[in-house]
């Protein structure tokens, strides 16, 4: 089921996009997630219109989101003959689950960095002796 109701990115949504970027997501991916988070399914064109992203940016943003298992894509032939199929996208995971996965990645990354810092300190002590 498509959801072509007008999605509007408010100041709140732009804040969410900024926070997702702070966590390491590229702007295009963060924007695509925010566009999809409250809809059952959106056409690629609708995401372009709402987000201000160009068609290639939407396609490029969706690739890693699909690889992560966050977004599903389906194609539908146009009813009037020629042209490329219309792409539809939807979030597979609820937005809170995505936030949880980002949190897990962040914590793992920070743990690895803390381990590296601890080892550097230990090596510094050994090198000074």
**CA atoms lying within 13 Å on the CB side of residue 129:** 6
Most confident of 15-19, 38-42, 121-125: 15-19
SS3 67: helix
Q: Which tens digits make up the pLDDT trace of 52-79?
A: 999 999 999 999 999 999 999 999 887 7
Tell me the pTM. Answer: 0.80
Alpha-carbon dihedral sign for residues 47, 25, 95, 8: negative
User: Tens digits of per-residue pLDDT, 63-121?
Assistant: 999 999 999 999 988 777 677 888 999 999 999 999 999 999 999 999 999 999 999 99
Among 113, 18, 112, 105, smallest CA distance to 70 is for 105
């Amino acid at each position: 089921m498509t959801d072509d109701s007008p999605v509007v990115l408010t100041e709140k949504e732009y804040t969410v996009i900024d926070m997702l970027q702070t966590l390491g997501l590229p702007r295009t991916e963060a924007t695509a997630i925010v566009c999809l988070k409250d809809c059952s399914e959106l056409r690629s064109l609708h995401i372009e219109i709402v987000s201000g992203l160009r068609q290639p940016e939407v396609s490029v943003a969706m690739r890693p989101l699909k690889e992560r298992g966050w977004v599903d894509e389906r194609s539908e032939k146009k009813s009037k003959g020629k042209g490329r199929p219309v792409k539809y996208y939807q979030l597979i995971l609820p937005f809170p689950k995505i936030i949880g996965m980002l949190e897990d990645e962040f914590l793992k990354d920070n743990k690895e960095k803390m381990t590296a810092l601890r080892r550097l300190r230990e090596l510094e002590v050994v090198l000074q002796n």
